[in-house]
Structure 1
């Protein structure tokens, strides 16, 4: 009985901080959802209470008057293009670094990994002038390219771990049967690393969807604003117009897709990261 009680005590001691941390994280989100259904008067009168009547006018105002539909579309395009471009570049690069041994391959891999340690903020000013020279400043395409390059080292690092778990005998058998290296990559290696590909794609997509600073620097026209920039504009307006309900509604638009996406693929992400940690 003492051992059982001790085990329960240890488990409770571990779970209690996690429960408190979960409440601390979830309560502001829950408060934000409630505030999105309140009028400005009700937010000031009862900021912490449940709304007397769930009103969707804040969502309509954010969608129509603040052109949130355009910003959501821009964020979706930037996220999709950035994730796909990063994947197209990372898959063959990871395969070459993992399977093809050439002079300087290990140094090149170390260079990619060391790039993860460099703060992205150091490259913002050079990237600004580089995009300006290529006429890609204030462009959704240009921002997508920057996003893809920013996550390329991390994606390569994860995918090389997954590809290292694939037996080389499968590739050797396919090569003996006459399959080209490109066929081996796309028909054998890629399907077997699909778990890792899905994992990094989801993580990159969440990163691109929430990104703010690079979008602020490289985008200038309001019609090209991503959702993060639109929310920042609404936040500045709310200080003078008291449009706090509209601000909460726009935050719901931003956070809801991420919550849904992570909830659907949570197990796959955890499984993918666990599988990728076992190499060799």
Structure 2
């Protein structure tokens, strides 16, 4: 099985520049291009240019033709399933059915309190995530939905004409814990990991790889409990958050070694951050483009 390479383009570009970045991503052959769905993000991006995910993806749909587009990832922090469903149906239509929704429980950063709410406990965050995904699933597959939930409700919400993709656009569920894994097994067409956050600062590449292998095994167990075949779940690694986060971008050979080891652990798609100077993603643009164009043949 060949490994798919994709990219994530942070929404930091005015569209006069951004359109060329998205066009270039498609020209380089990436299978998909995602963007973060935050109101703002960590330093050094906190006080800089940062645009909305759905308008950015809609604009990207107009300047690309082949590659898939999506969020990496959307969360309940500042979204509601009813309004999000309407935006996603529109985006799926504009793109001709090329949208994947990356979705996660969200973190405790700036987005978590931007609307004036108190920070949610880990349990409430997990409860909200489960309710959010289940309702969104219904909204994207049924023409009219009424649902009374603890956190999210819908009253005769119309989502006509529905998605171009049937029965709806795919969900890529970011999850590592038991509840999230079960949610991915019930509603996801793909699963997303960034590795084990506990290993970010002091872990080793070997520990990280073992942790990802363990996550894949737990995902497969959750799929079995849900009565689904493991082969039906696409498995995605978002790079940039493992202990060896910079090493793969030193050369094409270094990346092929990194990607090959993760493919053996069960990963089917690797997402690379588009290079951004003066950030954690300040990779050599020439090496990045060589990885995009040369690595796929070596990983086939």
Report the TM range for the smaller structure's normalisation. Answer: under 0.3
TM-score of the two chains, using structure 1 as the length reference: 0.26
- The answer to which structure, 1 or 2, has the higher relative contact order (CA under 8 A, 6+ apart) is 1
TM-score of the two chains, using structure 2 as the length reference: 0.24
Structure with the higher fraction of residues in strand conformation: 2
Structure with the higher fraction of residues in helix conformation: 1
